[in-house]
Amino acid sequence: MVAGYPAEVSRPRIALLGRFAEHTSATRYSAVVSARALLESIWKAGGDPVTLLPVPPPSGTDWPSRLAGFDGVVLCGGADIDPRRYGATDIHPEVYDVNGLQDDADLSLAEYCLTQGVPTLAICRGLHVVNVLRGGSLVQHMDEHHRHVVHDVVLESGPVGIEPGPIRASCYHHQCIDRLGSGLEIVGRAEDGTIEALTIDSEGWAFGVQWHPEDTAAEDPRQLGVLGALVAASS
């Protein structure tokens, strides 16, 4: 029994697509990883996170089979999406670690979740994935990027479980939403106007944030609550 969590209550299983890494000290060679802080924050919020391997289609995108037994999904942060995915012809030199398989898997997973009503939380790159999927575009490199930036965001509204009001957001991104995709509504911005939160038109619960709630969830109940809202919707 986990302290503070009744033994008879089963944790909803939350799927995340792993991120490719060139090397880690633990694995010696290339790896598929998920951020430890994100996994621990999902657990603290009451969920059971599981990392899935990005695999080429068609078997890798057989989401009805691969998500069997899962209750929710996090579209998590990571490297940049190939700008050609949103119609760009010139690629900024600061765009980094583009991977076609990662893009294919993320976009396919997002499309499945939003059309099938799987509870979904999109974080940072995940927010970009949803925006590109819905026909939007990205600023490839911000003049004033938000790496290692903590700032205030005022949420005007949100889906069930996300209370409106001010929230202190920890950001790490050099890209942001430019043209807004269809079915997305801006509900939070930074003081400089950067889009920080979106409600997402979906058959189920769906929300997107530009920041990383896992960065400060251990000490900020509002950030843990963002992950907790996904867990509650997945229960």
pLDDT of residue 8 exceeding 70: no
pTM, to two decimals = 0.94
CA distance 100 to 98: 7
Instruction: Please check whether residue 129 lies inside any domain of the structure.
Output: yes
Contacts of 202 (CB under 8 A, 6+ apart): 113, 114, 115, 117, 120, 183
The tally of domains found in the chain comes to 1
User: Average per-residue pLDDT in the chain?
Assistant: 94
Tell whether 5 is covered by a domain. no
Q: What is the predicted pLDDT for the residue at 22? A: 83
> What is the DSSP secondary-structure string of 2-23?
-TTS-TTSPPPEEEEE-EEES-
**Can you tell me the distance from the alpha carbon of 186 to that of 83, in angstroms, rounded to the nearest whole number?**
22
* Distance from the Cα of residue 91 to its chain's centroid: 23
**Which pLDDT does position 25 carry in this prediction?**
81
The one-letter code for the residue type at 44 is K
Q: Can you give the pLDDT at residue 190?
A: 96
Task: Decide if 2 is inside a domain.
Answer: no
Of the candidates 41, 67, 72, the one whose C-alpha atom is nearest the C-alpha of residue 159 is 72
Q: What is the DSSP letter of 52?
A: E
CATH number of the domain to which 20 belongs: 3.40.50.880
User: Residue 46: in which H helix or E strand, if any?
Assistant: none
Asked whether residue 6 is domain-assigned, the answer is: no
Percent of the chain with pLDDT over 90: 91
- Asked whether residue 67 is domain-assigned, the answer is yes
What is the extent of the structural domain holding 150?
A: 13-234
Q: Residue 199 pairs with which residues in a beta bridge?
A: 185, 207
DSSP state of 28: S
With b for 16 or more beta-carbon neighbours within 10 A and e for fewer, the 7-17 pattern comes to eeeebbebbbb
Mean pLDDT of 110-120: 98
